């Protein structure tokens, strides 16, 4: 199926038909800000998730995995609290995550296993579950097709801005919508357990296909970003597909489905990087000329996490030698004499020759806030990959060195 | 063979018998500081090296590898310049490295393949080889058994202090000496290509055994440190064993040989970390309870390179949740409910339970400058590993964000 058009639209997580959302303040955050986010589908939806690979997994992550397995990928709602990660909280934590699902299911009139649960905030602190239970009732009473914006605010911890996106996808005369919200890595209060994304669509997609498509889309968006190379105990991305548009997507619609999910996820992922701790610049790292896309990704990840590269961009220093050094140590195949380094459109190294006379041009480019760094690994292969990261500033250190209490 | 005693002695790289050294200013550094370091053995010595695993290797690294192979592990001298890394310099760079070996061999009266060459300094800039050739003659005329200190100064780039060590090893009535010098990662001038270590001993050790012992010692010292997780184009450690003590070490003396080399290398490695960019604290990371020592090392490396851990220590924040989160994402087996986290001697998490009431005690401990962080991965295995790192400060960012010209 061809993709005719993907158009940005308003509405965020509630832009697709048949979804309602709400964000309320239930008292977890001492400052009275929104801290409980509820998304509900008007009908049972296909559900899927991708989760942190961290072996220290928070209770809600463990529970949501179980629910997706038990319900065979059916979901009615997603409940997320901010301000407390419910991680490293032992048996009480597991009980609290279960009670979040139970009371949400009661409010929505579905099975607890059809509820996905996430938490974000401080690690090692227990939830005040009574507050959450009252909050869920409150949120359920406020569910609205216009509630996406509140829902996106209620999952923020110290993110500098909420992250929402929504698109309409047209393909062969059919139209469906994909919406999303995410929260990122504002760790001014350290120990925040970090990245959460929620995606909704009014296309009908059977659960196994939806799970594969979410993974494919996440690999190119949420899994292609880094702020500081850390991976939290609570990271997860959920998707609900409720079919309210009447459009059914099957295996043959794979490119349309993945493109639609990616179109909603990419701005969220980039938003997380732009809102990264102490970030002043968005850096797109492109690696080409690798023996495979996995090799390209490995080199791109090494560059995107390199403190020397990130500080150089922060300082506006066209320091191509650092890109060479990181590519060479990344573990991916690399041929120095055929490698190429570009900052923006300025080639600073190729065929074994440095072009330092072009440094002023690259330096001028680096004064911008959207920076592209490109390395051809010189193997002659066609593998390539793209990642997004941010610069490393003294502000990052200040934020993360502050005492957490 | 038992090790009776390992005693620190003076003299650095020239503490072992039969070694002479010099450090001169040949004009590579514009400020007139020492920039050329020569070590000579009075007799042909066994030689070995360990080199950067970076695939972008500087010309002197490639040449020194070749020389060790061609000479079957025989060396008479080591010539090192600072101020210019001779990396990413193409065919000219290869020629310059060869000429450094040639003129050193002429001055010492040995074969060029018996000379090991290293360079450290800015990447992508060519050596002024005429200056180096004049400098080698000058250095050869100044060789002295008391020249270790000058030699150690002449390999510094922006290291805050020179790094020398030397020990006397007694074993079964036999006595030999091991000396060393190293330079680290002062990257105030970015693009410095970083770590170089040189070790000398007056024991006699056949080359293959010496190479294995150097690797074993380096794995526990130079390869167990990190400042920022970067690996340069020029890293190398050389050892010369000239037998001038009359003590011959063979396979059965393995523990004595490795202990002697480690005793000289460990203070150099720790010195590099203490002198790390922007460092204010030395952090020893100990990982226990892993399924193997390789798994323990992987987790220790992840912790030692974690910006969140390093900023927490910098800020004096007993932030045990970050240690859990990094251990969990490290790729090594990890069992949350049996993991233990200690800061100094304060246990902050064990049996799935946080002990936040002990945070003030850990906070007081973190005011010191020598910090130990310990994580038991909870697998019940006996694998353990130790690494050294430093804290991450705003000064690190300032140093590395400055424009290099």
pLDDT tens-place string over residues B266-318: 999 898 888 888 889 999 999 999 999 999 999 999 999 898 899 999 999 99
Residue A405: pLDDT band (50, 70, 90) is very low
Residues of B whose CB is below 8 A from A396: 307, 311, 397
pLDDT of residue B405: 40
Question: Which of A15-24, A185-194, A306-315, B229-238 comes out lowest in average pLDDT?
Answer: A185-194
The full set of domains in chain A, from first to last, is 5-274 (3.60.70.12), 282-401 (3.10.20.340)
Nearest to B231 by CA among A290, A328, A307, A340: A328
Distance from first CA to last CA of chain B, Å, rounded? 54
Q: SS3 of A79, please? A: strand
| Contacting residues for A23 by C-beta, under 8 A, at least 6 apart | A34, A36, A37, A38, A139, A147, A149, A150, A151, A152, A153, A154, A155
Mean of pLDDT over chain A: 92
Facing A397 at nearest CB: one of B311, B329, B363: B311
pLDDT of residue A1: 63
Q: Compute the distance between CA of residue B351 and CA of residue B338 in angstroms, rounded to an integer.
A: 5
Nearest to A345 by CA among A282, A284, A296: A284
Residues of B whose CB is below 8 A from A190: 308, 312, 317, 319, 322
Catalytic: which of B74, B89, B194, B233?
B194
pLDDT of residue A404: 53
**Which position has the token pair 């901010």?**
A82
Residue A269: its H or E element: helix A254-274
Q: Nearest residue of A to residue B234 by CA position?
A: A325
Q: SS3 of A344, please? A: coil
Residue A198 burial (C-beta neighbours within 10 Å; 0-12, 13-18, 19+): buried
Query: Does the beta-carbon distance from A88 to B229 stay under 8 Å?
Result: no
Whether the per-residue pLDDT at A57 is higher than 60: the answer is: yes
- For strand B196-201 and strand B236-241, is the pairing parallel, antiparallel, or unpaired? parallel
Query: Does the beta-carbon distance from B311 to A359 stay under 8 Å?
Result: no
Best of A58, A392, A401 to mutate (most B CBs within 10 Å, chain B):
A401
pLDDT of residue B187: 47
Residue B387: its H or E element: strand B383-390
Query: Does the beta-carbon distance from A56 to B349 stay under 8 Å?
Result: no
Torsion of Cα atoms, A240 then A245 then A251 then A256, to 10° = -90
pLDDT of residue B188: 39
Best of B226, B401, B402, B403 to mutate (most A CBs within 10 Å, chain A):
B401
- Residues of A with a catalytic annotation lie at 194
Facing A312 at nearest CB: one of B190, B232, B329: B190
Whether the per-residue pLDDT at B230 is higher than 80: the answer is: no
pLDDT in tens, A142-199: 999 999 999 999 999 878 899 999 999 999 999 999 999 999 865 434 444 578 899 9
Best of B318, B321, B339, B343 to mutate (most A CBs within 10 Å, chain A):
B321
Facing A325 at nearest CB: one of B233, B316, B354: B233
* A16-41 residues labelled b (16+ CB within 10 A) or e (exposed): bbbbbbbbbbbbbbeeeebbbbbbbb
Query: Does the beta-carbon distance from A317 to B230 stay under 8 Å?
Result: no
Partner residues linked to B21 by β-bridges? B39, B144
- For strand B282-290 and strand B236-241, is the pairing parallel, antiparallel, or unpaired? unpaired
The torsion angles phi and psi of B108, rounded to 5 degrees, stand at -95, -10
pLDDT of residue A187: 47
DSSP B154: H
Rounded mean pLDDT of A228-236? 76
Whether the per-residue pLDDT at B191 is higher than 50: the answer is: no
Q: Compute the distance between CA of residue B116 and CA of residue A48 in angstroms, rounded to an integer.
A: 59
pLDDT of residue A191: 47
Facing B400 at nearest CB: one of A312, A329, A402: A312
What would the two tokens of residue B82 be? 């600072």
pLDDT of residue B1: 63
Query: Does the beta-carbon distance from B317 to A228 stay under 8 Å?
Result: no
Please give the share of chain A, as a percent, with pLDDT higher than 90. Answer: 76
- Give the Å distances, CA to CA, from A397 to A376, B2, B218, B393, B398: 31, 47, 31, 6, 11
pLDDT in tens, A320-352: 988 998 999 899 999 999 999 999 999 999 988
Rounded mean pLDDT of A115-125? 91
- CB B200, CB B13: distance < 8 Å: yes
Query: Does the beta-carbon distance from B57 to A336 stay under 8 Å?
Result: yes
Q: Nearest residue of A to residue B232 by CA position?
A: A325
Q: Compute the distance between CA of residue A362 and CA of residue A317 in angstroms, rounded to an integer.
A: 8
pLDDT in tens, A284-308: 999 999 999 999 999 999 999 898 8
**Which has the higher per-residue pLDDT, B110 or A329?**
B110
Residues of B whose CB is below 8 A from A90: 337, 352-353
Q: Compute the distance between CA of residue B186 and CA of residue B160 in angstroms, rounded to an integer.
A: 7
**Which position has the token pair 């892993």?**
B290
Q: What share of chain A is helix, strand, coil (3-state, %, to 5)?
A: 35, 30, 35
Query: Does the beta-carbon distance from A123 to B325 stay under 8 Å?
Result: yes
Residues of A whose CB is below 8 A from B53: 329
- Give the Å distances, CA to CA, from B290 to A58, A371, A399, B339: 21, 41, 32, 10
Q: SS3 of B194, please? A: coil
What would the two tokens of residue B304 be? 């030692």
Question: Which of A160-169, A190-199, B223-232, B392-401 comes out lowest in average pLDDT?
Answer: A190-199
* B171-187 residues labelled b (16+ CB within 10 A) or e (exposed): beebbbbbbbbbbbbbb
What would the two tokens of residue A251 be? 């295996």
Query: Does the beta-carbon distance from A325 to B90 stay under 8 Å?
Result: no
Task: Give this complex's ipTM.
Answer: 0.76
Nearest to B400 by CA among B158, B88, B182, B156: B158
Mean of pLDDT over chain B: 92
Give the minimum alpha-carbon distance from B232 to chain A in angstroms, rounded to a whole number.
6
Q: Compute the distance between CA of residue B216 and CA of residue B354 in angstroms, rounded to an integer.
A: 38
Whether the per-residue pLDDT at A114 is higher than 90: the answer is: yes
Give the minimum alpha-carbon distance from B307 to chain A in angstroms, rounded to a whole number.
7
């Amino acid at each position: 199926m061809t993709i005719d058009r993907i158009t940005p639209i308003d509405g965020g997580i509630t832009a697709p038909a048949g979804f309602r959302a709400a964000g309320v303040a239930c008292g977890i955050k001492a400052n009275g800000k929104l801290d409980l986010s509820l998304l509900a589908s008007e009908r049972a939806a296909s559900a899927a998730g991708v989760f942190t690979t961290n072996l220290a997994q928070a209770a809600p992550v463990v529970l949501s995995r179980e629910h997706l397995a038990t319900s065979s990928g059916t979901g009615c709602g997603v409940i997320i609290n901010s301000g407390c990660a419910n991680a490293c909280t032992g048996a009480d934590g597991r009980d609290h995550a279960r009670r979040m699902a139970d009371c949400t299911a009661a409010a929505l009139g579905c099975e607890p296993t059809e509820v996905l649960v996430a938490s974000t905030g401080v690690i090692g602190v227990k939830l005040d579950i009574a507050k959450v239970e009252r909050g869920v009732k409150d949120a359920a009473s406020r569910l609205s097709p216009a509630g996406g914006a509140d829902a996106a605010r209620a999952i923020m911890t110290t993110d500098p801005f909420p992250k929402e996106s929504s698109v309409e996808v047209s393909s062969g005369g059919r139209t469906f919508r994909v919406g999303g919200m995410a929260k990122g890595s504002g760790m001014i209060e350290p120990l925040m357990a970090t990245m959460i994304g929620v995606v909704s669509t009014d296309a009908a997609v059977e659960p196994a296909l939806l799970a594969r498509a979410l993974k494919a889309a996440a690999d190119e968006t949420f899994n292609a970003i880094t702020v500081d190379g850390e991976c939290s105990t609570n990271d997860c991305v959920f998707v609900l597909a409720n079919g309210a548009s009447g459009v059914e997507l099957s295996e043959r619609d794979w490119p349309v489905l993945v493109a639609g999910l990616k179109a909603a996820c990419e701005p969220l992922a980039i938003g997380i990087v732009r809102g990264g701790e102490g970030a002043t610049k968005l850096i797109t790292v492109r690696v080409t000329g690798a023996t495979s896309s996995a090799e390209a990704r490995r080199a791109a990840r090494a560059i995107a996490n390199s403190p020397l590269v990130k500080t150089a961009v922060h300082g506006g220093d066209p320091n191509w030698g650092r890109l060479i050094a990181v590519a060479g140590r990344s573990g991916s195949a690399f041929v120095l004499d055929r490698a190429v380094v570009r900052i923006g459109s300025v080639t600073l190294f190729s065929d074994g020759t440095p072009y330092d006379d072009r440094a002023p041009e690259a330096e001028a480019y680096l004064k911008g806030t959207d920076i592209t760094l490109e390395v051809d690994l010189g193997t002659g292969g066609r593998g390539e990959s793209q990642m997004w990261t941010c610069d490393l500033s003294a502000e990052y250190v200040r934020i993360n060195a502050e005492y957490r209490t």
